[in-house]
Amino acid sequence: MGIRRAKTGRGLKPLLGIIAAPGPDQLVLPLLQALRKWAEVRYLDEQEYQTAQAFLATTSRAPGLDKALRMSDNPFALWVSAEQPKDFDLLPRRPAIVLSSQRDDEAGSLFIPASTIDTSRIPPITPFVRARWRKRWGLPELMVVHLDGSDQQLPADLLQTAMAVAAAVVARGPELAEALAWQAPCVTDEASASALGVRDGIEVLIASPDVINEPNEVDETAASLAGDLPLAASISRAGRRFAEDKLDLGRSAAIVAERLGLLASLVPAGGPSARVASRLAELWTPNSARILDRVRSAMASLEGREVNRL
Amino acid sequence: MKGGAEQHLENLVGAIQQAGHEADLVRLPLAWDKERLFDAVVAWRMIPIDADRVIALNFPSYFVRHPKKVVWLNHQHRIAYDAVDAPWSDFGLDDDSLETQRLLSDYDTRALEEAVAIYSASKLVAERLEKYNGLKATPLYHPPPLAERLSRSPRRDSRGYIFCPSRLERNKRPQLMIEAMAHTASGVRLLISGKGSLDKELRELVDRMNLHNKVQLLGFVDDEKLVELFQGASGVVYVPHDEDYGYVSLQAFYAGKPVVTTKDSGAVLEFVSHEQNGLVAEPTAESIGAAMDRLIEDPSLATKLGDNGLRTVKDLNWESVVRKLVEA
């Protein structure tokens, strides 16, 4: 069976075939876009079914899905929505992964967020390191940033800096997701917490309605959180993990790509140092980290990249 | 002279083997400077360990990858955390230091999250982990080196000295113990065994303060001599700053001797209680000196505290430690 690959600058990308019914769930479209990082993603005609490395069906009733699964043994992902019945037991074989925009852990499906948070671009900063930054800049020890009011008057880049070093952040609505991604200890309201699916005392502190709407009261709650280092460290860590696992579309796409075997088929660049880099990637090492330069330097002579020999 | 961490590793491997399991010790060198700090992290990350489980005790060994990784945390890279403001820390408030701290704390958290269980040497180590990384650990106490020999050795009459076996390093504060002797009036002597980077400085301190009749720096002593020195002491003084665990105080209790320590000695205070099995002084030379005088001038108090010290350690054993680590 031929495997179709698209060329890229770094290697060859596998083909991920999309099998869709007319008018697919709009919520699947951002996922398809995110999957382009690892694969050529496009709709397939029947004659192309055998050329795809993997499939993604936007519904179990997609025309051609049954045929595709009979013609190819390659893995497939199945998108399920609330409106569609989960009757994939009728399919010739089971999906490698089931995807849903609904949080339904009982069904075992991977939750695909609608969020566009990219946690790989947001460095996680623990409360302890935040305190060090505040000390460097002479900022107040219990600095609280509000994303729901006056602090939003700050320019965007300053607001991000404030989120990065604040001892606690009061965030409501969509801003809560970003604050969690910064690993900020967050105070929020019930509605914002419920919308994201975060829990009181676990990923956030939820202030009651009579507190959240009173500036002095909410400041006191946030300051109390800021002053409780173990609690701040615990909930901010859990908040960041929540953002990575449940709010980061790119990360969900990576999981899908991994389950469909798309990552393994990419030609690795950089030789043995790529393996080391992948181990460091597991620890979310930023591309700018000095340790990556040290690894490349250490491996250079083994990989024939060393130019000057003494 | 082996440090506490080295003895801990050897004793743990021995205890696991004693329990009928195969156990090997894997060690890698580590560069402590900021520039090379993550080199050993990478090395641990790449090492293939084909075992049923791994038990990691310190930074950076807990970066090892294994599906059954158990962490029994002695300490993290403290000069980047709680000891960041200590004179021996190379972390400042510059960009490089702050980014290294950021990366280290994130790395530590992720590597430790991989563990199937996290234990800590003491409550203090668990508290630090929670404060800096937001993770919980269960304290798991263990016997110190020479526990059995000390507990089996006969109690001897006090020979009028206070003893301290210690590495002669700044965080152990041997200079504070020596300065305390200038504030004693009971005729007590202080015997310190051990070696370290402060050896010359401490001898000069004794000279400068004219304490030759009161302080003896013994250098390295073997285990037999060490047991003998514990047996003949009126008490043991141990005043490190913010210690992770505190073998010396436990060894004192196994020998039935009271301990003089200070309010800022860290996990030592998880075992030493003021006027129960020891004396907890302010971290000043005057206060420590007064406590040492008390033990010499009141032998019945010293005996009572020492007897209570024996009771403090009676439930420490390796069998229960191994069981928890192996069954986690």
> What is the rounded distance in angstroms from the CA atom of residue A297 to the CA atom of residue A306?
8
Average pLDDT for A299-309:
61
* Residue A270 scores a pLDDT above 60: no
* Residue B219 scores a pLDDT above 90: yes
Residue numbers in B near A130 (CB within 8 A): none
Residue numbers in A near B127 (CB within 8 A): 230
CB A276 within 8 A of CB A302: no
Among the listed residues A20, A200, A58, A197, the one whose alpha carbon sits nearest the alpha carbon of residue A115: A197
B284-326 pLDDT tens trace: 999 999 999 999 999 999 999 999 999 999 999 999 999 999 9
Alpha helices in A203-289 (DSSP H): 209-212, 215-227, 229-242, 249-259, 272-281
Q: pLDDT band for position B2 (50/70/90)?
A: low
Residue of B105, B128, B129, B135 best to disrupt the A interface, most CBs of A under 10 A: B105
Average pLDDT for B129-134:
97
* Residue A79 scores a pLDDT above 80: yes
Neighbour-count burial of B272, counting CB atoms closer than 10 A to its CB (0-12 exposed, 13-18 middle, 19+ buried): buried
Residue of A119, A126, A161 best to disrupt the B interface, most CBs of B under 10 A: A126
Comparing A254-263, B216-225, B278-287, B308-317, which segment has the lowest mean pLDDT?
A254-263
> What is the rounded distance in angstroms from the CA atom of residue B132 to the CA atom of residue B273?
27
Average pLDDT for B255-283:
98
Which pLDDT value is given to residue A104?
A: 62
Of B98, B107, B109, nearest to A237 by CB-CB distance is B109
Which pLDDT value is given to residue A4?
A: 45
Q: pLDDT band for position B194 (50/70/90)?
A: very high
Average pLDDT for B12-40:
93
Taking any CB pair shorter than 8 Å as contact, residues of chain B touching chain A are 35-36, 38-39, 41-42, 45-46, 65, 81, 84, 93, 98, 101-103, 105-107, 109-111, 127, 130-136
Residues 6+ apart with CB under 8 A from B292: B162, B180, B181, B184, B186, B188, B190, B235, B237, B260
With CB atoms and an 8 Å threshold, state whether B39 touches A233.
Answer: no
Which pLDDT value is given to residue A8?
A: 41
**Percentage of the residues of chain A whose pLDDT score is greater than 70:** 84
The better pLDDT of the pair A195, B120 is held by B120
* Residue A308 scores a pLDDT above 90: no
With CB atoms and an 8 Å threshold, state whether A283 touches B38.
Answer: no
Which pLDDT value is given to residue A157?
A: 76
Q: To the nearest whole angstrom, how far is the Cα of B56 from the nearest Cα of chain A?
A: 18
Average pLDDT for B180-198:
96
The better pLDDT of the pair A91, A106 is held by A91
Average pLDDT for B237-255:
96
Which pLDDT value is given to residue A204?
A: 97
CA distances from A134 to A71, A164, B128, B232 (A): 61, 10, 20, 52
Which pLDDT value is given to residue B156?
A: 75
* Residue A310 scores a pLDDT above 60: no
The better pLDDT of the pair B292, A158 is held by B292
Average pLDDT for B18-38:
93
Q: pLDDT band for position A267 (50/70/90)?
A: very low
Average pLDDT for A255-265:
81
Neighbour-count burial of B267, counting CB atoms closer than 10 A to its CB (0-12 exposed, 13-18 middle, 19+ buried): buried
Which pLDDT value is given to residue A10?
A: 42
Which pLDDT value is given to residue B5?
A: 81
Q: How much is the mean pLDDT over chain B? A: 94
Q: How much is the mean pLDDT over chain A? A: 84
Which pLDDT value is given to residue A2?
A: 37
Which pLDDT value is given to residue A174?
A: 86
With CB atoms and an 8 Å threshold, state whether B106 touches A294.
Answer: no
Comparing A12-21, A38-47, A289-298, B142-151, which segment has the lowest mean pLDDT?
A289-298
Q: Which residue has the tokens 């050329």?
A: A51
With CB atoms and an 8 Å threshold, state whether B132 touches A128.
Answer: yes
Which pLDDT value is given to residue A7?
A: 43
> What is the rounded distance in angstroms from the CA atom of residue B270 to the CA atom of residue B253?
13
Which pLDDT value is given to residue A254?
A: 85
The better pLDDT of the pair A81, A185 is held by A185
The better pLDDT of the pair A176, A86 is held by A176
Q: pLDDT band for position A150 (50/70/90)?
A: low
Searching chain B, which residue's CA lies closest to the CA of residue A233?
B134
Residue numbers in A near B123 (CB within 8 A): none
Q: Which residue has the tokens 């263990």?
A: B142
The better pLDDT of the pair A9, B154 is held by B154
CA distances from A153 to A162, A181, A217, B82, B221 (A): 12, 21, 21, 36, 68
Neighbour-count burial of A156, counting CB atoms closer than 10 A to its CB (0-12 exposed, 13-18 middle, 19+ buried): exposed
B57-110 pLDDT tens trace: 999 999 999 999 999 999 899 999 998 988 888 999 999 999 999 999 999 999
> What is the rounded distance in angstroms from the CA atom of residue B121 to the CA atom of residue B263?
19
Q: pLDDT band for position A171 (50/70/90)?
A: very high
Q: To the nearest whole angstrom, how far is the Cα of A257 from the nearest Cα of chain B?
A: 22
Average pLDDT for B263-286:
98
Which pLDDT value is given to residue A170?
A: 95
